[in-house]
Amino acid sequence: MENAFETALGLYRAGRGRDALPLLRELAGQHPGEPAILNLLGVCLRMAGEPAAAETALRAALAGCPDHADALLNLAAVSRDGGRHGVAASCLRRLLAQHPALREGLNQLGATLSEMGDLEGAERTLRRAVGLVPDGIDERFNLAAILCQAAPPDRAIAALRQAIALQPEGAFAYGLLGACSLRAGDLDGAQAPFSRALRLDPAAAEARQGLVRVARYRATARAARSGTGPDGLALRGAFATASGYSHMTRRLIEALRRQRIPLEILGLLGDERWPFEPLDRPVRARALLNVLIPMAVERVPGLPAVTFTMFEGHPIPPSWQVHSRNSDIVVVPTRASRRAWIAGGFPEARLRLCPLGIDPEAGDGAPLHLALPDGRPVAEIPYRFLNVSDFVPRKNVDGLLRVWLRATDRRDPACLILKLAIGGRPDGRAELADLVRRGEAATGRRVAEAAPILLVDAVLDEVRMNGLYRAATHYWSLSHGEGWDLPMATAGALGLGLIAPRHTAYVDYLHDGIAHLIPARTAPARRPYADEPWAPFHGLDWWQPDEEAAVAALRAVIRNGAALPSAADHLRRHFTWDQSAATLLTILGGLGLAPQPGGA
């Protein structure tokens, strides 16, 4: 046995774990329950891309020796690979109970907790690691990386400098140091590490972009101090991407320009250009408006920082509270977001409320031509339900599928058009297929038995997205929480019948007279079909829509012809982007920061 095991171990160490498998399987058969053999078998199976078999072997090793350190480490790694971070953390805690000073165990637990979204737990674990190994490079860098997410900029900067002192040749750490310095508004403190990062790695795009932002912020600060020219507003946001924040930023810019507000537009990276007119020239800014999540906010020296943002759960996470305090004022679009910030410990006096707008202009043009998998034109189906979502747990796609399977029959005159943003995820379709299989198991019904579902996962430009709305008769959401839900608001403004949960943003712009609102209760945020939290909402609550009520609502429309009221007049009258921009300017005026109209 000893020679054969050493041979297998040598193959593994040479990176040939797959080649060691026949020998290890033979050894496992000859020596059943031997932990060393089973552990190495599990490691090699993981290397060979067989995670389920690897987990079986590692659990067998632990059955024979519950405190086997290597098997616990390896089972934790396999569990992390599969997204089962709770299992991984449990393994690592068992390991550390026996070996409390094990560096690898502490570092792995810190990384696992970070991936779970438990930044506080990760920080505690990594501080323990640093205390045990003060000169440990990995420990210092891991702690610094956590503090960049979870701590105020000054604490993160101090940790990064300690880590860099131990290893001064890492470009990535200098890039993080520059980014943290920008959050603090220290342009000199940012320029030096960004420049150092580029000297160490000329291909470091984040450092190059950081230097662009440093230069832009210097020009913005100089113009604000100049005392000449009309007052204006500097606005930073991700207007050049396809995200909801980007859409919001573009609409606000357009509305502010219609009100002739002088604007300087700063992109998320620094070198983006507003495509319709030159808005990258500095103005005499009264404030910097960040249309971003709090962690992405950067300060310009001498300018008050106003952040327009939102959150979908309750309360905001601790890291959001920390980074929100980097802003002088936080503006949110809904009462639910306001409550979340207050519950998270943010000062109520520094919060303001400004609803967003809708896009009724999407009503112009022709519906997008769509066909079901059997070739039937979607336009021939009387009841066409649309949902537009990112493919993330918060959107509750699993709940949508369960309700659709239970509520509909293949003979029903209905279809579900599911527009999911999964194009950029290599395993997105596989994840969706798994969600469908789980939905079938949970409901006891197959997709083929329900009314047809049409998946649209291609990236659509604005014109085709408008056509997608016009191809539907109803818009339906079972989301666990929304900061605003622009697709729902747009669909309502176009006259589609609306079915939405009674929570978060929906109750700010919908009511029973203009939509069918489904009861919802608060519940811990969990990943679909799992007890583990979804990392961005670790330790937080969201809302669980009543699926029985959703089934009844769909059947009432599809089988009984129940007509849903129209929200179009209400939304078009009360929620325009011009109104949103006017409210924002009123907020700034109340703070003494309102720019004066006068731009071309």
Q: What are phi and psi of 570, to 5 degrees?
A: -60, -50
Ranges of the chain with pLDDT below 70: 1-2, 360-364, 423-426, 599-600
- Residues 338, 311: Cα–Cα separation, whole Å: 9
Residue with tokens 């980014």: 179
Strands 231-237 and 263-267: parallel
Closest CA to 433 of 453, 451, 407, 417: 453
Q: What angle do CA 269, 270, 271 make, to 5 degrees?
A: 105
- Residues 124, 482: Cα–Cα separation, whole Å: 31
The distance between the two most distant Cα atoms of the chain, rounded to a whole number of Å, is 87
**How high is the pLDDT of residue 429?**
86
**H or E element: which one contains 7?**
helix 2-13
- Angle between helix axes 85-98 and 103-116 (nearest 10 degrees) is 150
Closest CA to 497 of 386, 360, 406: 386
* Strand order through the sheet with 329-332: 263-267, 231-237, 284-291, 305-308, 329-332, 351-353
Non-local CB neighbours of 121 within 8 Å, separated by 6+ positions? 113
- The identity of residue 469, as a single letter, is Y
**H or E element: which one contains 352?**
strand 351-353
Sign of the alpha-carbon torsion through 341, 343, 344, 345: positive
Non-local CB neighbours of 590 within 8 Å, separated by 6+ positions? none
Residue with tokens 């086997």: 68
Quote the strand ranges of 96-161, DSSP E: none
- Residues 402, 396: Cα–Cα separation, whole Å: 10
**H or E element: which one contains 159?**
helix 153-166
**How high is the pLDDT of residue 362?**
53
Q: Which residues pair with 476 in a beta bridge?
A: 499
**How high is the pLDDT of residue 284?**
93
The CA dihedral of 386, 466, 432, 445, to the nearest 10 degrees, is 20
Residue with tokens 């795009």: 205
- Residues 262, 255: Cα–Cα separation, whole Å: 12
Q: Quick one: the chain helix, strand, coil %, rounded to 5?
A: 55, 15, 35
**How high is the pLDDT of residue 4?**
85
Which domains are present in the chain?
234-353 (3.40.50.11930), 361-574 (3.40.50.2000)
CB 178 within 8 A of CB 197: yes
- Residues 88, 112: Cα–Cα separation, whole Å: 7
414-451 pLDDT tens trace:
999 999 988 656 688 889 999 999 999 999 999 999 99
378-416 pLDDT tens trace:
999 999 999 999 999 999 999 999 999 999 999 999 999
Assess whether the previous peptide bond of 315 is cis (omega < 30° from 0): yes
**How high is the pLDDT of residue 361?**
62
Strands 541-545 and 520-524: antiparallel
- The identity of residue 312, as a single letter, is E
**How high is the pLDDT of residue 227?**
75
**How high is the pLDDT of residue 425?**
66
Q: Within 10 Å of residue 3's Cβ, how many Cβ atoms?
A: 7
CB 370 within 8 A of CB 471: yes
Burial 434-450 (b: 16+ CB within 10 A, else e): ebbeebbeebebebeeb
Quote the strand ranges of 431-538, DSSP E: 453-456, 474-476, 497-501, 516-518, 520-524
- Residues 336, 176: Cα–Cα separation, whole Å: 33
Closest CA to 400 of 318, 455, 322: 455
**How high is the pLDDT of residue 236?**
97
